[in-house]
Amino acid sequence: MKIAKILFTTLAMVLVASVAFASEAGGDVMSAKAYATALGMGIAAGLCGIGQGMGVKGAAEGIARNPEAGGQISTTLILGLAFIESLAIYALVVNLILLFVM
């Protein structure tokens, strides 16, 4: 697992480095920013999706084991999903700030 993580990180740096070094003095920095923000938002959305899936899985298992607590579990699930989704929205705001302001 650790070797795969190192290889993936190295591959990502090699692929992004060509874009960074291809620009001339004051050249196409916007393209590198676009790639970076797209990658950042993709990672954030993917991880938020995994978190939401795990939350729904847990709620479904909880309701299956104890149907009488279904209402309370559903309420907690909706609240948790809203918090997870807010993380994706925060990531979007940060990525848009990085793309257009910096």
Handedness of CA 80, 82, 86, 92 (dihedral sign): positive
Average pLDDT over residues 52-75: 90
Closest alpha carbon to 50 in 61, 39, 42, 60: 42
- Give the pLDDT score at 17: 66
Query: Tens of pLDDT along 9-59?
Result: 877 777 776 666 665 555 566 777 888 888 888 888 999 999 999 999 999
Percent of the chain past pLDDT 70, that is, above it, reads: 84
Q: What is the distance between the alpha carbons of residues 18 and 10, in angstroms, rounded to a whole number?
A: 13
CATH number, domain 29-100? 1.20.20.10
Domain boundaries of the chain, sorted by first residue: 29-100
